[in-house]
Structure 1
Amino acid sequence: MHRTALAIRHVAFEDLGIIEPLLIERGYTVRYLEAGVDAIDSATVTAADLLVVLGGPIGVYETDRYPFLAAEKDAIAARLRQDKPTLGICLGAQLMAAALGATVTPTGKVEIGYGALTLTGEGRASPLRHVGEIPVLHWHGDQFAIPERASRLAETAGFPNQAFALGPHILGLQFHLEADHRQIERWLIGHAHELAAHRLDIAAIRADAARHGSVLERAARAVIGEWLDALRFGQTVG
């Protein structure tokens, strides 16, 4: 069956990555909206069968600097009220959390590079079980609270809220399962200032991408594929 997948992209190199082939395999037509360039409104966002809100180096709370965030969050909120399939990654998950009434705040620190998650009991019962102890790519400094009625799925030592699910249709991930390890150089260039400011070891991130990338990609495909295959369409609420 033909379905539409809409991705909201905030920076060019943080795209759907390994998720896009999974969508095409399942018969989705993929379309991007470029945040800050294209209009993002409730009608467009709610019309898609699937919405993926991607990452970016800005904060949900920076609406004075980036006014488009207010309309984006409102459009996401309208979609979530209808319980339509929605996946958020990093900034995308933070926007979803905020749209659901949870707080999103800067932490004054960053978690950048590859590191394993600790799954909660609910996380181990979810598609995230496929990543298990496999190091995933982290690239964030903000944190979200878990929205009301949502399940907390994963944590790390520095960031206790790494993923949440609200029923089978709504999934927020603080980390980057979508990132293609073969494209890590785009991330290292695009985030050069942040990496320098925090004196992070670029060579170590590059080496970890080579070391963990293939195993992580297989696990990430299993996570996202299982979540996609469990979606049910046509039933909305609100």
Structure 2
Amino acid sequence: MSKRALIVRHVPYEGIAGFRAPVEAAGYTIERIDVSDPEFPGVDLVSPDLVLLMGGPMGVYEHAENPWIVHEIERLAERMAADRPTIGVCLGAQMIAAALGARVYQGPEKEIGFYPLAINDNGIRSPVAHLADQHILQWHGDTFDLPDNVELLASTPRYPHQAFRRGRNVLALQFHAEMGLDPRIEAWIDQSQDSLDQLGLCPHGLRADYARIGPSAVDAGQRMVGEWLQAVG
């Protein structure tokens, strides 16, 4: 019997992208649920063999605008208590932090574009080591306090909490190592014009970086996820 992976999408244009290949190669059958789906309030986040929580433009603290957030965190906390294999990307990483009791809040400024990660000693001994010497896509403006009983793996100068793990079954990634080939980057650019203007970033420059750096970045991300999946319980 194949293993079941559930992808939680917070917006349609932020999906599994490059992580699909290593997840399928590890023997998982992929299912997907959008938070806008009428069935989402009752979805079981504990029983899937693997859950991947993807990104989104909303903040974990924006409960009034997104009433599903509280329910997702509650069910995710149950999954954390059961120590079930879980990956969180960007908003998904912030959701994991919140489910583990940490505070999520606005960062000093938005971080958008391809940047290198400072990978610490814990990170070098983890699958995140595959991202060393790579520029990885960042696209966020929020951050989180580091939860208790986790290992910090990577940082950037503006956002010191870029990746953490708890044991072998929980991996939280603030960055987007799944993105480098997926054409939905165009939707990201279209949805972020105000943020790009604030940072003085040119959409054409981002597209050029995506074409030039993206393939190598997503290849490293795939190797990272592939190694992590080999070790999950």
TM-score range, shorter chain: over 0.9
* Residues in 2 aligned to 1:76 and 1:13: alpha-carbon distance in whole angstroms: 22
3-state SS of paired residue (2:77): helix
The CA RMSD measured in Å over matched residues stands at 1.5
| Alpha-carbon distance in 2 for matches of 1:61, 1:52 | 20
Q: TM-score, normalised by structure 1?
A: 0.92
Q: Is 1:42–1:79's contact at 8 Å kept on the other side of the alignment?
A: no
CA distance in 2, matches of 1:160, 1:138: 13
Deviation for aligned residue 1:212: 0.9
The Cα of 1:182 is off from its aligned counterpart by 4.2
Identity of aligned residues (%): 37
Tell me what 1:168 maps to: 168
Unaligned 5+ runs, structure 1: 233-238
CA offset at residue 108 of structure 1? 4.2
Query: Retained in 2: the 8 A contact 1:42–1:76?
Result: no
Aligned residues: 232
Q: Distance in 1 between matches of 2:37 and 2:192?
A: 21
User: 1:26: which partner in 2?
Assistant: 26
Matches of 1:112 and 1:43 in 2, distance apart?
32
The AA in structure 1 aligned to 2:109 is K
Q: Separation in 2 of the partners of 1:185 and 1:15?
A: 13
Moved more, 49-58 or 184-193: 184-193
Q: Which residue matches 2:190?
A: 189
Please give the per-residue CA displacement for 1:55-112, whole angstroms capped at 9, x wherever unaligned: 0000001101111100011111110000000000000000100110111110241000
Query: Counterpart of 1:117?
Result: 117
Aligned counterparts, 1:80-159, within 5 A:
80-159=80-159
Shift of 1:161: 0.5
SS in 1 for 2:52: strand
Q: 1:9 to 1:182 in 2, by over 3 A?
A: closer
Report the equivalent of 1:205. Answer: 206
Greater shift after overlay, 217-226 or 18-27? 18-27
Structure 2: distance between partners of 1:43 and 1:11 = 17
Q: Give, in whole Å, the separation in 2 of the partners of 1:90 and 1:52.
A: 11
> How far apart in 2 are the matches of 1:33 and 1:134?
31
Letter of the 2:192 partner, please give it.
Answer: H
Distance 2:99 2:46 in 1: 14
Q: 1:117 to 1:110 in 2, by over 3 A?
A: same
Correspondences of 1:55-70 after superposition (within 5 Å): 55-70=55-70
Moved more, 19-28 or 167-176: 19-28
Deviation larger for 95-104 or 212-221: 212-221
